[in-house]
Amino acid sequence: MAGRRDCPEIVRKIPNSQRERYKSLGKLYKERFGSQPAFFARAPGRVNLIGEHIDYCGYSVLPMAIQQDIVMAAGTNPDQMLVFTNSNPEYQEYKSSVGDYKINSSNPLWHNYILCGFRGIVEAECISNPTGMNLVVDGTVPRSAGLSSSSALVCCGSLATMHANQQEIPKKKLADICMRCEQYIGTQGGGMDQSICFLAEAGTAKLIEFNPIRASNVSLPDGTTFVISNSCVELQKAATSHFNIRVVECRLATQILAKSKGLDWKQFKVLGKLQESLGLSFEDMLSFMETTLHHEPYDKKEVCGILGVSEEELIQASLSANTLDVTSFKLHDRAKHVFSEANRVVQFKEICDQGLGDAASVLGGLMNDSHASCRDLYECSCEPLDKLVQICRDSGALGSRLTGAGWGGCTVSMVPSGDVDDFIAKVHAGYYAADPKLEEKAAGSLFATEPGSGACMFEMDAETTV
Ligand code: GLA
């Protein structure tokens, strides 16, 4: 049985370092809604250290929460209205009634992510008459940067909805709800972002496992620091089909591999489950894959022929709304990335657990291999990201790779702690100072980070009341 301690913490005192920020949010809330907020909800962004594009294949990943977060000053209203205001005037206010809202999945605006969280909680908890909710939202997670600003909005929205409706939900269940409800936006991501958002703890990265969601501590080697740098190429995950195409390619690879073993292929959607059923090691999966899938892309006709289905049946069994028109699928390379990346996560965790003297350089090597695999096999990097990764390595990183979905966004680099200032100066000179447009964005784009804490709520305290 889950108890209160499995639920997100309700913190009584806002940390001093955050007080002014929360106070000004409270002030905005009062100006807009005429009263104090009832509470604050907070959800962090994350950086994934290793294990990219494998969570939706059922494999474990290794992220940590970052300090940057979404904070919502929240309260209820008796009018059954949802009113979401943003502290950043660039984002327009959103208003609808609790029973009449629409989640827009093509090019979604900010409030749609909060609506996902709202809908997720209302449906999961069968709340028949949800309360109206006022929110003032403030975010410090760089957007479209692979640091999970979207999931932080979904998770924070779900927390606010939960608390406003006097529900108590354990963290793992919240992660599960949010992982599912973010799919209302249309991206078929896995559960990494939502899981680390709720299960993170300050001072430790986490190995996140799925089915069911579990998190265990990973002690990173002493004397190393992770530094994030944003390529400043914005990734529009929900507005493009790159992401879902990869999901579909992995699914088709799973089904063709399952079929070749004489299994009931429709029962298999993810490579992880297939591996589990076959009871094979990563090495064995890789050689099975090599002998079964060809290097050249598959077209739809060939896939239908192998699986013995019509195009309509294939659409039903394997494709998703924004991948119906895709004609060519690179199954070999995608599957090879997934098995080898999943293997690297296991190795990364083992090396951290062993805590040997040369751990940092071995981990750095795994991060470099991960980037090469994302770039060459999964094709989710881009030129500026590759360039930035190279600059990070030349500036003293022990390892550097893209983090998050890719196609833009950030790199994460492992750097000897004593060299962080020098590293940052060199990356600044090599990447940002070289281009006036990037130089403008350099502040907030290049920073060292430590494993942060997970989502929580804050009570209003006397010092925050305005
Ligand atoms: C996005 C998704 C995650 C994960 C990463 C890639 O952040 O939301 O579930 O798939 O991309 O590793």
- State the burial class of residue 78 (Cβ atoms within 10 Å of its Cβ: 0-12, 13-18, 19+): exposed
Ligand 1 atom nearest to CA at 189? 9
Q: Check pLDDT > 60 for residue 133.
A: yes
Q: How far is the CA of 289 from the centre of ligand 1 (A)?
A: 23
Write out residues with Cβ below 6 Å of ligand 1.
48, 52-53, 55-56, 148, 189-190, 192-193, 404-405
Q: CA–CA separation, 399 vs 360, rounded Å? A: 9
Among 230, 249, 262, which residue's Cα sits nearest to residue 323?
A: 249
86 falls in which pLDDT band (50, 70, 90)?
Answer: very high
38 falls in which pLDDT band (50, 70, 90)?
Answer: very high
Q: 3-state class of 306 per DSSP?
A: helix
What average pLDDT does range 336-344 have in this prediction? Answer: 98
Q: CA–CA separation, 317 vs 434, rounded Å? A: 49
User: pLDDT of 265-306, one tens digit each?
Assistant: 999 999 999 999 999 999 999 999 999 999 999 999 999 999
Q: How far is the CA of 151 from the centre of ligand 1 (A)?
A: 10
Count each helix (H run) and each strand (E run) in the chain, helices first.
15, 15
Q: Check pLDDT > 80 for residue 177.
A: yes
Q: Check pLDDT > 70 for residue 72.
A: yes
Q: CA–CA separation, 332 vs 293, rounded Å? A: 5
Buried b (16+ CB within 10 A) or exposed e, 335-346: bbbbbbbbbbbe
Eight-state DSSP code of residue 126: T
Q: Which two tokens stand for residue 305?
A: 């022929």
User: pLDDT of 215-250, one tens digit each?
Assistant: 999 999 999 999 999 999 998 766 788 999 999 999
Write down all domains in the chain, each with its CATH number in brackets.
4-220+452-459 (3.30.230.10)
Q: Check pLDDT > 60 for residue 1.
A: no
0.75 exceeded by the pTM?
A: yes
Among 192, 235, 341, which residue has the most ligand 1 atoms within 8 Å of its CB, making it the best to mutate? 192
Position 2 scores a pLDDT of 59
User: Which strands make up the sheet holding 132-139, listed edge to edge?
Assistant: 10-11, 456-459, 39-50, 62-77, 132-139, 81-86, 94-97
Residues designated as active site: 193
Instruction: Please report, as a single letter, which amino acid is at residue 183.
Output: Q
Q: Check pLDDT > 90 for residue 390.
A: yes
